């Protein structure tokens, strides 16, 4: 197998892994990986704002609004007007949301983060440069993408 084929096989393995994780998460928690990540961000403090999630995940507020709408519909989070600033709406995790996080499979990106942190600094830099180069090769450097390993539509 030449290097071109080897690189395509490696990309396909990455895509298949994210697809398989997405299916596993959907079956066990009823959420997409990106919805689950939003839920985790809310759970970290118990409550937050859409703007804070948007900034943290580096996606538009409209995308976060659509994701939060789905989490509200499933009873994972609720919206509540801020007591300090009535113009602001807080997103608050529910008990159902907390249980969902506790019972979900180990998120793929957390496995990646754990192993990435174990790498030497030079290895991290080399890997990051390679991944950024692959994104550029695929004309994907301008895509709105959260730090979530998911092969699906970000607005889901």
Please write the tens of the pLDDT for every residue from 79-125.
998 888 878 899 999 999 999 988 887 777 778 888 999 999 999 99
Residue 151: exposure state from Cβ atoms within 10 A (0-12, 13-18, ≥19)? middle
CA 124/CA 122 separation, integer angstroms: 5
CATH number of the 3-137 domain: 1.10.10.10
49 neighbors 84 (Cβ within 8 angstroms): no
| Residue 148, φ and ψ in degrees, nearest 5 | -130, 130
Please write the tens of the pLDDT for every residue from 131-154.
999 989 988 877 766 555 554 444
pTM for the model: 0.69
Name which of 5-19, 46-60, 142-156 the model is least confident about: 142-156
Q: Give the Cα-Cα-Cα angle 32, 14, 139 (nearest 5 degrees).
A: 90
- Between 113 and 2, the more confident residue is 2
The residues spanned by each domain of the chain are: 3-137
| pLDDT mean across residues, the chain | 86
């Amino acid at each position: 197998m030449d290097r071109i084929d080897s690189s395509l096989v490696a990309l396909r393995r990455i895509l298949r892994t994210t697809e398989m994780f997405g299916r596993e998460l959907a079956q066990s928690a009823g959420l997409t990986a990106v919805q689950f990540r939003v839920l985790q961000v809310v759970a970290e403090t118990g409550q937050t704002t859409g703007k804070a999630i948007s900034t943290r995940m580096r996606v538009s507020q409209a995308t976060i609004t659509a994701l939060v709408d789905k989490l509200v519909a499933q009873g994972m989070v609720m919206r509540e007007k801020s007591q300090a600033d009535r113009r602001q709406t807080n997103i608050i995790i529910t008990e159902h949301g907390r249980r969902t996080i506790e019972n979900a499979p180990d998120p793929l990106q957390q496995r990646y983060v754990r192993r990435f942190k174990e790498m030497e600094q030079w290895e991290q830099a080399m890997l990051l440069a390679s991944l950024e180069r692959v994104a550029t090769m695929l004309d994907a450097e301008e895509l709105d993408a959260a730090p979530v390993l998911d092969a699906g539509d970000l607005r889901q």
